[in-house]
Amino acid sequence: MQIAVLGIDLGKNSCSAVGLDKAGRVVLRRRLSRHSLIKLATQMPSCVMAMEACCGAHHLGRVLRAHGHHVRLMPPEYVQPYVKAQKNDERDAEAIAEAATRPTMRFVDLKSEDQFDMQTLHRARSRLVSERTALVNQLRAVLLERGITVAQGRRRLARYLTQALDADDTEGTQLSSRIRVLIEDMRAQWHDLDQRIAAFDIEFAAAARSEESARRLSTIPGIGAINATALVASLAMRGALLGHATFPPGSALCRDRRPPAADLGCSASPRWQQCAPC
């Protein structure tokens, strides 16, 4: 039994694997744990290991590549058209194996551990920003329910709270003593979140100065240290980042960016013309 392509449908605890030979016939169907899958891979000759680019796929891909296999990761939406009949784990694995053999398939490059570390830091910062936004919105709701409106912006709200909690402030007297204590506690949480977010920002700025691709991205107007490090972490091939990487049409990073439609004499069209394929 010579397996040319092994399609793997990843699960939290177990995986479904379907092997195809060079002719595309199914020669293996097996359900096994991740540990057993790695053990199976060590016993197999070098072949193509195909997976969807989902949670845990990059780590497993690096392990399989270390054992001499060729790893191919694909976006799940590109695999979906190859699923036959009703969806289940085995049919998903077979669809993954079949999709990996298509000559026009677009694959996702494996990310390094450093990139995943940076991406994890960005996700942690994003969570803190969401928590801060929710806290600020709740503060505004507490004030609005008591007939107090504050202009938009975190700084304006922070200045108002400083004044409102002053005993001599007229509007501050509209707040009961218990609500004033609650707002003080929420302000303390807000201050703590600001400090934690600022610590991430300092770390990203240092990373942008030390990483060449991020440093060059930072020179683009509108792309600061946070966006630059996020882009470097999101794109698997660092060399591709500054060369043939494909970015959304009309974005600041697309090399075929065109002038606004109004400058081209178009009245009812998007602000940016559709870019040619990068």
Which residues face 20 on adjacent strands? 5, 26
Cα distances (Å, whole numbers) of residue 49 to 9, 40, 143: 11, 12, 57
Q: Which pLDDT score, from 0 to 100, does residue 175 have?
A: 79
Per the listing, tokens 């830091």 go with 121
How far apart are the C-alpha atoms of 142 and 146, rounded to whole Å? 7
DSSP reduced 3-state for 26: strand
Q: Which pLDDT score, from 0 to 100, does residue 68 have?
A: 92
Per-residue pLDDT of the chain (278 residues; tens, 9 = 90+): 689 999 999 988 889 999 999 998 999 999 999 999 999 999 999 999 999 998 889 999 999 999 999 999 999 999 999 998 888 889 999 999 999 999 999 998 888 888 889 999 999 999 999 999 999 999 999 999 888 888 888 999 998 888 877 655 555 557 788 888 899 999 999 999 999 999 999 999 999 998 888 888 888 888 889 999 998 888 754 444 444 444 544 444 554 444 444 333 343 333 333 333 33
Tokens of 106: 């677009």
How far apart are the C-alpha atoms of 213 and 240, rounded to whole Å? 10
Q: Which pLDDT score, from 0 to 100, does residue 110 have?
A: 87
Which residues face 260 on adjacent strands? 272
Q: Pick from 83, 115, 110, 107: which is nearest to 9 by CA?
A: 83
Q: Pick from 93, 40, 41: which is nearest to 68 by CA?
A: 41
How far apart are the C-alpha atoms of 72 and 179, rounded to whole Å? 57
Class of residue 139 by CB neighbours under 10 A (exposed 0-12, middle 13-18, buried 19+): buried
